[in-house]
Amino acid sequence: MQITGGVELPARREAIELVTADGLTLVGELSLPEAVEPVATIVALHPLPTAGGFMDSHIIRKAAARLPALADIAVLRFNFRGVTSPHGTSDGQFGEGIEERHDLAAAMEFVAARGLPDPWLLGWSFGTEVALKHGLEHDMVGAILLSPPLHRTSDAEVSRWSGADRQLVVVVPELDDYLRPAEAAQRFASVPDADLVPVEGGKHLWVGETQTRRVLTEIVARLNPGVLPLPEEWNE
Q: Give me the residue spans of the domains in the chain.
A: 12-224
Arithmetic mean of pLDDT, 77-85: 98
CATH tag, 12-224: 3.40.50.1820
Question: How much is the pLDDT for 221?
Answer: 98
Radius of gyration of the chain (CA): 16
Q: For residues 157, 144, 208 and 234, what is the CA-based torsion angle, rounded to 10 degrees?
A: -160
Question: How much is the pLDDT for 12?
Answer: 98
- Structural contact between residues 168 and 193, judged by C-beta atoms closer than 8 angstroms: yes
Arithmetic mean of pLDDT, 77-90: 97
Question: How much is the pLDDT for 13?
Answer: 98
Residues 6+ apart with CB under 8 A from 37: 72, 117
DSSP annotation of 208 reads S
Arithmetic mean of pLDDT, 25-41: 98
- Reported as a single tens digit per residue, the pLDDT across 189-236 is 999 999 999 999 999 999 999 999 999 999 999 999 999 999 999 987
- Taking each helix axis from N to C terminus, what angle separates 209-223 and 58-71, rounded to the nearest 10 degrees? 50
Our measurement of the distance from residue 133's CA atom to the centroid of its chain's CA atoms, rounded to an integer in Å, reads 14
Q: Say if residue 152's pLDDT is above 80.
A: yes
Cα separations in angstroms, 197 against 117, 148, 231: 25, 12, 22
First to last CA, the chain: 8
Average model confidence (pLDDT) across the chain: 97
**pTM for this entry:** 0.98
Arithmetic mean of pLDDT, 96-118: 98
